[in-house]
Amino acid sequence: DAGVTQSPTHLIKTRGQQVTLRCSPKSGHDTVSWYQQALGQGPQFIFQYYEEEERQRGNFPDRFSGHQFPNYSSELNVNALLLGDSALYLCASSLGAQYSQHFGDGTRLSIL
């Protein structure tokens, strides 16, 4: 039973570029949440997708956007990258709002 999978594992970009990160939820899960974890800090909630719609959003600018596909997989897009966007981006999946969130291993994004 595959857990939450994320791709790519590592990514290097330069300031001003755009990036797309991908997430496949754990089998049977239909809700995907994205978190940003800066070095030495706890994860910060970006947004959550359910039934292909953004259900809840954290305190992140509009440069951060997302999408959920009919197969429940999800993408996180970040435009106009800043040095401060360097972080580990974590995807978590759950079965609706009824069960605990399970995390993938994340995508390490470095901005030069």
Work out which of 1, 2, 39, 40 binds another protein, going by CB under 8 A: 40
Q: Nearest distance from residue 13's CB to another protein, in Å? A: 20
Answer for which of 11, 13, 45, 75 binds another protein (CB under 8 A) is 45
- 3-state SS of 4-55? CEEECCEEEECCCCCEEEEEECCCCCCEEEEEEECCCCCCEEEEEEECCEEE
Tokens encoding 27: 């089998």
Alpha carbon of 95 to those of 15, 27, 71, 77: distances in Å?
A: 36, 10, 13, 23
Residue list 91-110, contact with another protein (CB under 8 A): 92, 94-106
Length of the chain: 112
CB closer to another protein, 7 vs 14? 7
Q: Is 66 in the site for another protein (CB under 8 A)?
A: no
Taking the least distance from each CB to another protein, the nearer of 17 and 54 is 54
Residues of this chain that interact with another protein (CB under 8 A) are 4, 31, 33, 35, 40-45, 48, 56, 58, 90, 92, 94-106
